[in-house]
Structure 1
């Protein structure tokens, strides 16, 4: 391979890595914007913990657990290539990864993905989880569960051999986080004041919607790296197609959610609009490289409708998800994964069933693991803060700090 092309590929992958890293800013802004002022420090602390510890765990063993190099004839369920990330022979040359990038870039790009799964959970459990319990959960889930599931497809495991397709992680990233979020909010219970005595949901407004809006726009920008980098090279045709399908799905998702929520609730809800954009992004992620622009619009638009219906469904189940993480990442993640069998280059009944089996297998594994981890934490040290701590705010009780010391806290 030409040295210039190898360098160009690697530079694009490093830029994509930076964009995915920047997504953590978007997640942080979105989560604090959609929750109350008194819990801002707590949410920011969790997000910073996820990035730092997640990257260290991925360095220590996660990368080699996710890409173990399954031997031919193995079950493709679990493998481990050893601790650390010592570069193999040829890891810095075009002989590695078909000249798409170097070993170091590969590690860092995948490491940015690893932390995202726990960030999804952070928003769902906001405003009432004990910080210590969340930190332990993050260590186990990011350190073990995420790389094991990732190995099943991206590491050449059994889902890959079956033909399961997930381009950039509608299932392997988003639903892995979404399943854990669902289990966590079930075990935690709802926030004080979320449901009235008749079980009817009540709105608990976020304290900074402009910041939440900025968060969504940052996430949209970061998705250019999330999906665009998943081409794993700077291939001009495929990379540009992926960026187009990603953007069109995001736009269609926002419009779909805006239209349906306006029809159902007779008001133009900005938060539904924002989550519709995210739903479109999650929905296209599994097949962004397979879809035409028209198909991307359809997938995104349906994802936007799913957002509105999904948020109402979660409320009906009396589950409290402050940022809509379960709907955005789990439900539209499932939709996007199944859409690979309905649209695009791989569409067909056989592919659809393979996608469905993959969704179910990953779902069962993540649910069981989440119940074990969170159930053990609940029994040993508790998951939820006291009512007094929740009412007064986690910033004060967990951190002894105020995000806005010059303003009244509420």
Structure 2
């Protein structure tokens, strides 16, 4: 009897052990499945965001082509493809390694051709590369705004290579790749400094060295209006950029699990909306006309400004940052033009001034709870953080501006001394579509006129024909 009971107990214990053994692998498998689903969701979000940012390239093509004259439209739009193609190859070969490879506080010295790097921040290197490539392409597109309507196509080609190999990735390493500014807690969530100030500084130096377009300024220095040929294109371009920017900012969370991406999305949207409205109001009050170009520039300025702070500031602060960016961009564009600077796409004011303001804004408005969530830097001045973070942001802005300005000057000065950087007067008057590519973007324009007498003084036309 006792033996039977013991046998029954042994059977019952054996059955219990068997059930437990069957359940443990299932629970472990379930946990692994949840983790894998979470990773897969994050990876899907990153690649969608990368595609959104890459789709900003046609936004730039529309914006820049619409903002320039008909005789240059095909050239301005077409070089976008060339620039992004070169950017992709050079960033794969060199730029990604300089940005994210192991090295020193100044630059990465490994990871070229993606060798030796399996993942970055838990993201497979191929996926992370694609996402970061999209950012590099945007910075290059911003830089080329300063070249518009007068630079040789060969200059675009050479400058693309050097900018993506030696200029942009160094700034990226300083802030995103573990460089010296990262060590000091520089806050630049999605690139007001890394992407936009870098591109705008290069554009500013380029436009200064290329000199103004023919007919832009009178002998007394007074500027003439050279309107873009298609304002509908510029509106569509800005809308494409606005949509793509959600990949730019919200995509920089690299995850959907924490919910931070939704906060980033709403701060991006409201800052941009405020900038658009306040830029239009500024033009309306100051000039008496509600200028559409100013509104579009303000919209982009809001996007640029909130890019650094979208994950660090509360919603109310985002609205304020955007509104200030819109007004700043309007008045600085007027100021630069009055100083004799011909910036056809307004890169210096839209991406430069707004990039500086957006970067510095963290020093004022970075929220303690969001700083803790992101894990970079300290809270801003209004939250009792003192001037520490503002100082770090200011040092970052100054250092990046100086490096990019000097490097860009060296590159363009070298090109100017060798192959030349500007097309001839005859080529500029005819338009870069026909002089560089042999055909107009609008072929019917060829039948109308080879010249542009409305914007080019007759004396220049006589000397050029």
TM-score normalised per structure 1: 0.95
SS at match of 1:81: coil
Aligned counterpart, 2:403 = 365
1:29-48 counterparts in 2 under 5 A?
29-48=62-81
Equivalents in 1 of 2:134, 2:425: separation in Å? Answer: 35
Query: Once the two structures are superposed, what CA deviation does each residue of 1:353-396 show, in whole Å capped at 9, x if it has no partner?
Result: 11000000111101110110001111111111111111110110
Candidates 172, 186, 205, aligned match of 1:150: 172
TM superposition shift of 1:267: 0.5
Q: 1:20 aligns with which of 44, 49, 53?
A: 53
1:84 alignment partner, SS class: helix
2:44 equivalent among 2, 7, 11: 11
Deviation at 1:50, TM superposition (A): 1.2
State the number of aligned residues.
399
Q: CA RMSD in A?
A: 1.3
Deviations 1:15-39 (A, max 9, x none): 0000000000100000000100100
Distance in 2, matches of 1:360 and 1:286, equals 16
Larger Rg: 2
2: CA distance between counterparts of 1:237 and 1:78?
32
- Give the TM-score, by structure 2 length: 0.84
SS in 2 for 1:168: coil
Q: Distance in 2 between matches of 1:103 and 1:370?
A: 29
Match of 1:84 in 2: 113
Judge conservation of contact 1:117–1:142 (CA < 8 Å) in 2.
no
Structure 2 gap segments, 5+ residues each: 1-31, 368-378, 382-386, 453-465
1:78-227 to structure 2, matched below 5 A, reads: 78-86=107-115, 88=117, 91=119, 97-98=121-122, 101-227=123-249
Q: Which residue does 2:441 correspond to in 1?
A: 403
Question: Residue in 2 aligned with 1:291?
Answer: 313
**8 A contact 1:87–1:103 mirrored in 2:** no
State the alpha-carbon separation in 1 of the partners of residues 94 and 164 from structure 2.
Answer: 11
Structure 1 range deviating more: 44-53 or 269-278:
44-53
Are residues 1:254 and 2:283 paired? no
Summarize deviations over 1:84-113 as a string: whole Å, max 9, x none: 114745x4xxxx624xx3221101000111
- Which of 1 and 2 has higher RCO (CA within 8 Å, sep 6+)? 1
Shift of 1:236: 5.0
C-alpha displacement of 1:335: 0.4
1:63 to 96, 101, 107: 96
Q: Is the 8 A contact 1:87 1:104 kept in 2?
A: no
More helix by share: 2
Distance in 1, matches of 2:46 and 2:110, equals: 24
Structure 1 stretches of 4+ with a deviation exceeding 2 A read: 86-89, 406-410
